[in-house]
Chains A and B, each alone.
Chain A
């Protein structure tokens, strides 16, 4: 297990170096070192390339790592909660709810003035995501059996997604041009808006949420045996579900609020980790922090280099790569079901 972590860390370092070196302008290693040196010594006398590194490339590389980790951990938590490896935030309404909250902010944010500053967008996304996820959870729960079957969960998820995306569509329709463009970009997922504010906000929430998630890893493991077995092992299943759901929604919504919907990370990363070394949730969460960041960094490098100097929305890359990988994984590991 430690070997896997080590390899992931090394690969991540390589990916980050590539990601801050190459782009519309290629930077030399010397420039990178000199910029970092000036940054740490608070030297304000920066060349253009050094400013590109410190104000654009570096925050982007860091935000990519954090968002990738958050989405992957979100996938682990949801799969653990619903005992199904094909659940991810996009399927159970979290992403569309966050999109709706964010769209509401883009369109109406100027009308109402909130005094929450930089936190307004993530909070709006959180509220939207909270609403949609709980709707899915509530309707999917069968009154008779007191648990949600995966079929009803997915079907209700489709319906709630459609509902919230029609809300997003409506907002985009009534929006004026720059706002509508924000919404479109947001729906495709992009890291081009990265800045240090986003890094700090997403960084703080993600670290807190992931640490909390790690605390529940053991209880989620017990849940793999089924609800009554978990109860017999001393787990308060109802409370666990609500807590994990809230942590997951905040984790995913805040990350998504700055980058838009980035699909399939929460699905593919836990799958790959399970194939490597089983399903212990503690390992999956730590592994997801590392592998999620790594994979999203690679996707971001591709998004920037494939059509350079133009840039693809990263959501297109992750979905294009993720969907076939997902189908392949499903076909190969049928015993998961």
Chain B
């Protein structure tokens, strides 16, 4: 369980996050939604320990997250961001093996190699494992990074909780791969004990895949709950200054049209 208590983040006298308290449960996907500048990425960075909150505490499995060593935390916490740069040419296989770096010293063990293989199969990229990463298309690169991140926290035999952060992960993907990716993430959360916290821009995808939605407005937590509870016309109007039409396809599926 990941728990944030009264966290704030300020920089240069600007408050980016203001007194946010929230609990994330194992097995749940929480997606953070909000207008540009609402503090979505900052919240991800604070929760993943990339930034330290200026006030408040974050605990992971009842321990303060500050007490985790960077190298230890890396075994159970992975972050997928939208950047997909690489400074030098490497093979796809080598990039994915980087995900296992926190787990071995010098040479990858047989489990590391096996996990990389499984991760590549999961994202259907086994066929270009011997290609130079820099020659891939933007979408292919992002899939390689997905596989790397998944390999990082992949664990075959324990029940320990792991954290997966997704910071606008779908930016470079076309719609088919966006859906594919979210479906794979859904599969993955069933196999492993995961807490998934992500930022998505597409509200309809958020409704479709989130267990919980966290609505941020100017650094404040406006609303937290199931998609149905949070993404009401009223709340959307308040944060995005735009009025959506709700389209009820059937009992389960609701879509927003702008």
Where the two chains meet, the residues of A that have a C-beta atom closer than 8 Å to any C-beta of B are: 83-85, 218-219, 221-226, 228-229, 231-236, 274, 278-280, 335-336
Contacts and interface: CB of A to CB of B under 8 A. Distances in A.
B102 A233 contact: yes
A231 B50 contact: yes
A229 B74 CA distance: 11
B152 A233 contact: yes
B161 interface: no
B83 interface: yes
Contact of A84 (B73, B74, B87): B87
Nearest to A236: B70
B142 interface: no
Given A233-B101, A236-B70, 6 more contacts: A85-B88, A219-B101, A221-B98, A225-B85, A225-B98, A229-B81
B91 to A, nearest CB: 6
Given A233-B102, A234-B74, A224 B87 contact: yes
Given A226-B83, A232-B50, A233-B102, A274 B74 contact: no
A226 B85 contact: yes
B88 A274 contact: yes
12 contacts: A84-B87, A221-B94, A226-B87, A228-B79, A229-B81, A231-B70, A232-B77, A232-B79, A234-B71, A235-B70, A279-B90, A336-B88
Size range of the interface on B?
20 to 34
Given A232-B50, A232-B78, A335-B134, A278 B91 contact: yes
A61 to B, nearest CB: 31
Given A233-B74, A280-B94, A221 B101 contact: yes
Contact of B88 (A222, A226, A235, A279): A279
Contacts of A232: 48, 50, 74, 77-79
A278 B73 contact: no
A279 B89 contact: yes
B86 interface: yes
Contacts of B74: 232-234
B89 A336 contact: yes
Nearest to B106: A218
A335 B86 CA distance: 11
Interface string B61-81: 000000000111111011101
Given A231-B50, A234-B73, A278 B83 contact: no
A235 B83 CA distance: 18
A234 B70 contact: yes
A278 B94 contact: yes
Contacts of A218: 101, 106
Nearest to B135: A335
A83 B81 CA distance: 19
Interface string B35-48: 00000000000001
A83 B48 CA distance: 25
B75 A234 contact: yes
Contacts of B88: 83, 85, 224, 274, 279, 336
Contacts of B91: 278
Contacts of A236: 70-71
Nearest to B102: A234
Contacts of A278: 89-91, 94, 132
Which one of A219, A228, A229 has the highest number of Cβ atoms from chain B below 10 Å of its Cβ?
Answer: A229
A224 B86 contact: yes
B31 to A, nearest CB: 20
A277 to B, nearest CB: 9
Interface string B127-170: 00000101100000000000000001000000000000000000
A85 B88 CA distance: 8
Nearest to A333: B89
A320 B150 CA distance: 48
A228 B89 contact: no
A60 to B, nearest CB: 34
